[in-house]
Structure 1
Amino acid sequence: MSRPPENPADPAENQAENQAGGPVPGPVARPAGITVIAVVAALEATALLVAAGWYGFQLLTGAPVLSFWGAVFTLGLLLAFSAWLFAVGHFLFRGYRWPRAGALVAQLFMLTIGFPTLTGGYPLAGLAMLLPAAVAIVLLFDKRVIAFASRAGGAPPAL
Structure 2
Amino acid sequence: MSRPPKDPSGPSDDAGNPGTPQDRETAGAAPSGPGRPRAVAVISGIVALEATVLLAAAGWYGFQLASGAPVMSFWGAVFTLGLLLAFAAWLYAVAVFLFRGFRWPRAGALVAQLFVLTIGFPTLTGGLPVAGAVMLIPAATAIVLLFDKRVIRFASRAASDPPAL
| TM-score normalised over the length of structure 2 | 0.80
Correspondent of 1:127 among 133, 136, 139: 133
- 1:60 aligned to 43, 62, 66, which one? 66
Q: 2 CA distance for matches of 1:91 and 1:117?
A: 30
Deviation at 1:85, TM superposition (A): 0.1
State the secondary structure of the residue aligned to 1:121. Answer: coil
Amino acid at match of 1:76: G
Contact 2:120/2:136 (CA < 8 Å) preserved in 1?
A: yes
Aligned to 1:147: 153
**1:100-134: CA deviations, max 9, x gaps?**
00000000000000001111111111111100000
What is the aligned counterpart of 2:42 among 13, 17, 36? 36
Q: Alpha-carbon deviations, 1:49-84, whole Å to 9, x = none? A: 000000000000010111111100100000000000
| Cα separation, 1, equivalents of 2:13 and 2:163 | 19
Q: SS of 1:66's equivalent?
A: coil
- 2:69 & 2:55 partners in 1: Cα distance? 19
Q: Which of 21-30 and 34-43 deviates more?
A: 21-30
Structure 1 length as normaliser, TM-score? 0.83
Give distance in 2, aligned partners of 1:112 and 1:27: 32
Look up the match of 2:55. 49
Identity %: 72
Partner of 1:19: 12
Query: Shift of the alpha carbon at 1:155?
Result: 2.1
State whether structure 2 residue 113 is matched by structure 1 residue 104.
no
Output the aligned Cα RMSD: 1.9
